[in-house]
Chains A and B, each alone.
Chain A
């Protein structure tokens, strides 16, 4: 079946299977920043934004994305780079596998909350596992990033 969606500001039409999941569709079309980790909606690395809200693309039916606005980290490249700078400054980075998903959630948080507190940030990011750095330095980096840009 054919489906149309807007990915990072560009209209795309894909031929998909009815039971296809969005992470697979996106990766097949070279949006490789969308990672597959646990494949059970537990780890957060497959996070993308649909209409500016984070969703786990590993479990989201592609057919449901018809007509929706999809954002992958390629679509927020400048912001992601600024966030990466803050991660570097705070020593919040090692392998980087979880970073695209986290960058998208941070972007969504920024769009939805005016001045998120540390508690808001921690609550919003519960769905992102990071096995390298621990979470303290990430939260510091995100606070610095949000402080710098909002």
Chain B
């Protein structure tokens, strides 16, 4: 990305105003993904220095600032305790330390990247996004929207509820994008299953979740059925990384393993 002016925002209001001034103006998170784009921009708006890089807890929630780096998440003891630490685990598998020191959570969400290893666990954790203008929007709803985001993401909010979690990233090398990723979270409210990099952006395996919610007992049989439903009810496609059939197969296998694990069952 090329830009003519750099503006270090003094406040969120200032950032928002500057963003509105020209259609091309762009927020910079870590800047790593933007760097790869060929866009020509009038003003790059930097959010550094606005205290958006904090992980804060209240009684019931955890608020992760949009400028929090992936390394900060990886090293957060607070997040390690949420749903078996699936967000920490997922983030620590993204590229190397250098990238994680710069890439931000906000930049990882706004693009609704199909390959995202952040979005999948956050969707299973039922995360909400806190925008400057729009206020709170569920991640689930945000992912179904299309087009450029003209707002500023302030933070990602998750609940502190007791839950068990499972995350799996299938990749070819330690350094690669995922072929598929699966996150499962079981809490008092039920079970959520998110499947990403199909290669489309993560979505909930709603039919499989409904199957589990309707079951009177959760045993090996219901889990095997739910995993089969996750495979059959979602769309998997082919790209240079893997074929649709292989992805669908992986989705079934890892959904099953995830469900077994969060229910404390063994094969």
Q: Which residues of A contact B (CB under 8 A)?
A: 1, 18-19, 21, 40-42, 44, 47, 53-56, 58-61, 63-64, 105, 108, 122-129
Contacts and interface: CB of A to CB of B under 8 A. Distances in A.
B174 to A, nearest CB: 5
Given A64-B48, A123-B92, A59 B32 contact: yes
B246 interface: no
8 contacts: A41-B35, A54-B98, A59-B32, A59-B102, A61-B46, A63-B6, A126-B95, A126-B175
Contacts of A124: 96-97
Interface string B195-226: 00000000000000000000000000000000
Contacts of A126: 95-97, 174-175
A105 B46 contact: no
Interface in B27-74: 28, 31-32, 35-36, 44, 46, 48, 71
Contacts of B95: 41-42, 126-127
Give the interface residue-count category, chain B. Answer: 20 to 34
A60 B46 CA distance: 13
B96 A128 contact: yes
Contact of B31 (A44, A59, A128): A59
B99 interface: yes
B3 A40 contact: no
A122 B97 CA distance: 11
Interface string B119-137: 0000000000000000000
Given A19-B4, A44-B96, A125-B96, 11 more contacts: A21-B35, A41-B35, A42-B95, A53-B97, A53-B101, A54-B97, A55-B101, A61-B46, A64-B48, A122-B174, A127-B99
Contacts of A42: 95, 175
Contacts of A105: 97-98
A123 B99 CA distance: 13
Contacts of B242: none
Nearest to B5: A18
